[in-house]
């Protein structure tokens, strides 16, 4: 873990690193007595991050007057994480800040603080990160995908996949209340059974030749059944997705969704995404402060929002 970020142990212990050094916060699936699977919290796994190599800068820097000593830029002994290095080099290109008086990597913290306070946020768009998000309900992903600028999404298709991969998400409010928990389990058992029953009925109609369910290929025919059967699925159905964002758009997401005004499930998601990002790219995400609110949940806050 990167030592630049100070996080409470309770949060730091949630984050694991895989053998590539990519961060993840895991979530385990459980099942009702009838075998209907569900999750109680969001799982977040970093799948990809920007890499950078500044070697290609050399012919460019060597093309200027030797008096400027621009090639020394590449001998900076300070090592930055790849996203921060990429954004810093891109930002320093703007003012041709390659000479000896430039801000060196050792002062990257100050460099990025200036970027944030001056609102020069486009520099942060160069570094991007892709996440697998699971254990997230359809209602929370409807909120997630409202974030448009700088984001890309690929989400499970309820038309394409069958009831065999149906899982559900239990809200935190239900988890410690025996009655609400019992109702949740009963509800998702019923939803899974209803889905199967409706899909089977639709399949029978399709076999009988019902026109609206007809299709040339098997995939088409399956979609026609599943697109109808999904209508009964509740908001608490799991809707996993891969989400890619750049550092600027992810910062905005964390700020909007990681604070106490946001909905509980998306707050827990934003917190986990923030944890994964801050431990691997502290210069890009290390300015945030986490604090426990009166409702027992963590908020993620910064003095320089929406760069």
* Catalytic center residues: 257
Give the number of residues in contact with ligand FAD, rule: CB under 6 A: 10
**CB nearer to ligand FAD: pick between 71 and 305:** 305
Sequence-ordered list of residues with C-beta below 8 angstroms from that of 213, at least 6 positions apart, any chain: 202, 205, 206, 221, 224, 225, 228
**CB nearer to ligand FAD: pick between 104 and 147:** 147
**CB nearer to ligand FAD: pick between 161 and 256:** 256
**CB nearer to ligand FAD: pick between 227 and 244:** 244
Least spacing, CB of residue 258 vs ligand FAD, in Å: 10
Least spacing, CB of residue 144 vs ligand FAD, in Å: 9
**CB nearer to ligand FAD: pick between 101 and 148:** 148
What whole-number distance in Å separates Cα of residue 293 and Cα of residue 301?
12
Q: Which of 16, 40, 147, 190 binds ligand FAD (CB under 6 A)?
A: 147
Q: Which of 256, 297, 301, 304 binds ligand FAD (CB under 6 A)?
A: 256
Least spacing, CB of residue 149 vs ligand FAD, in Å: 4
**CB nearer to ligand FAD: pick between 147 and 181:** 147
End-to-end CA distance of the chain: 26
Q: Which of 77, 148, 231, 294 binds ligand FAD (CB under 6 A)?
A: 148
Q: Note whether 297 binds ligand FAD by CB under 6 A.
A: no
What whole-number distance in Å separates Cα of residue 182 and Cα of residue 26?
25
The 94-133 contact track toward ligand FAD, x by CB under 6 A, reads: ----------------------------------------
Least spacing, CB of residue 285 vs ligand FAD, in Å: 17
Q: Note whether 262 binds ligand FAD by CB under 6 A.
A: yes
- Secondary structure string (H, E, C) spanning the chain: CCCCCCCCHHHHCCEEECCCCCEEECCCEEECCCCCEEECCCEEEEEEECCCCCCCHHHHHHCCCHHHCHHHHHHCCCCCCHHHHHHHHHHHHHCCCCCCCCCCHHHHHHHHHHHHHCCCHHHHHHCEEEEEEECCEHHHHHHHCCCCCCEEEEECCCCCCCHHHCCEECCHHHHCCHHHHHHHHHHHHHHHHHHHHHHHHHHHHHHCCCHHHCCCCHHHHHHHHHHHHHHHCCCCEECCEEEEEEHHHHHHHHHHHCCCCCCHHHHHHHHHHHHHHHHHCHHHHCCCEEEECCCCCEEEECCCCCC
Q: Note whether 146 binds ligand FAD by CB under 6 A.
A: yes
Q: What angle separates helix 264-280 from helix 247-257, to the nearest 10 degrees?
A: 140
Region from 88-96, 123-131, 141-149, 175-183 binding ligand FAD, contact rule CB under 6 A: 141-149
Q: Note whether 58 binds ligand FAD by CB under 6 A.
A: no
Unique residue bearing structure tokens 């109808």: 228
Cross-strand bridge partners of residue 131? 46, 243
Q: Which of 164, 216, 261, 294 binds ligand FAD (CB under 6 A)?
A: 261
Least spacing, CB of residue 219 vs ligand FAD, in Å: 33
Region from 41-49, 156-164, 197-205, 252-260 binding ligand FAD, contact rule CB under 6 A: 252-260
**CB nearer to ligand FAD: pick between 93 and 264:** 264
Instruction: List residues binding ligand FAD (CB under 6 A).
Output: 146-149, 249, 252, 256-257, 261-262
């Amino acid at each position: 873990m990167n030592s630049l970020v100070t996080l409470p142990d309770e949060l730091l212990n949630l984050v694991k690193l895989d053998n590539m050094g990519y961060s993840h916060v895991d979530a385990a699936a459980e099942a009702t007595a009838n075998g209907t699977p569900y999750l109680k919290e969001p799982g977040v796994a970093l799948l990809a991050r920007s890499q950078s190599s500044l070697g290609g800068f050399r012919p460019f820097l060597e093309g200027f007057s030797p008096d400027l000593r621009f090639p020394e830029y590449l001998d900076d002994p300070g090592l930055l994480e790849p996203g921060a290095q990429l954004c810093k080099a891109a930002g320093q290109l703007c003012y041709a800040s390659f000479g000896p008086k430039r801000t060196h990597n050792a002062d990257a913290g100050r460099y990025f603080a200036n970027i944030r306070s001056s609102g020069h946020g486009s520099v942060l768009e160069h570094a991007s990160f892709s996440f697998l998000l699971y254990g997230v309900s359809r209602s929370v992903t409807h909120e997630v995908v409202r974030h448009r600028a700088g984001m890309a999404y690929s989400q499970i298709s309820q038309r394409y996949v069958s009831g065999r991969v149906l899982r559900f998400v239990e809200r935190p409010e239900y988890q410690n209340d025996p009655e609400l928990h019992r109702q949740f389990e009963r509800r998702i058992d019923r939803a899974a059974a209803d889905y199967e029953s409706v899909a089977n009925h639709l399949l029978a109609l399709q076999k009988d030749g019902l026109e609206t369910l007809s299709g040339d290929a098997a995939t088409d025919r399956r979609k026609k059944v599943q697109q109808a059967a999904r209508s009964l699925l509740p908001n608490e159905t799991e809707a996993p997705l891969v989400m890619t964002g750049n550092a600027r758009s992810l910062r905005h997401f964390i700020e909007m969704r990681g604070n106490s005004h946001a909905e509980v499930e998306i707050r827990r998601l934003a917190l986990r995404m923030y944890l994964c990002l801050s431990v691997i790219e502290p210069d890009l995400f290390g300015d945030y402060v986490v604090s426990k609110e009166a409702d027992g949940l963590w908020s993620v806050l910064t003095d320089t929002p929406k760069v």
